[in-house]
Structure 1
Amino acid sequence: MTITLNGESREVEGGACPVTELLERLGLAGQPVLVELNGQALLRGEFASQEVTEGAEVEVIRMVAGG
């Protein structure tokens, strides 16, 4: 499936899937991230119920602690 990830076209293995599965495919499962799907910011609790489909626009922001 082809999606736009952080502003760039990207081919992701497999078809439509929940955000949680997409994060697994991207190697980001369990990491602190913010996700926006098609212009809507998602709460972590919504990741499992929100479907990423062909042509979706996804923004993933990794949260990093600093000092």
Structure 2
Amino acid sequence: MTYHRNFPDANLYVPAVASETDCFECGKYISGAGVEYHGHDAQGKLAAVYLHPTCATVVAQRLICDGYPNRREG
């Protein structure tokens, strides 16, 4: 994960899963600070999602709420 103070000027080396300019969570354009999070796409290649910092905290909290109680499943 990488924080970019000025996202529009950031050097993004990993292709986006969806959009390189819009937030993966809310879908709005990222005009200031942004967060880059890496994972893998359906073909197993490194890919990224881009988020507003506030949206990143929302996504993170949702993942914790869904994942932590079920961490021993499967």
TM-score range, shorter chain: under 0.3
TM-score for both structures, normalised by structure 1: 0.27
More strand by share: 1
More helix by share: 2
Of structures 1 and 2, the one with the larger relative CO (CA 8 A, separation 6+) is 1
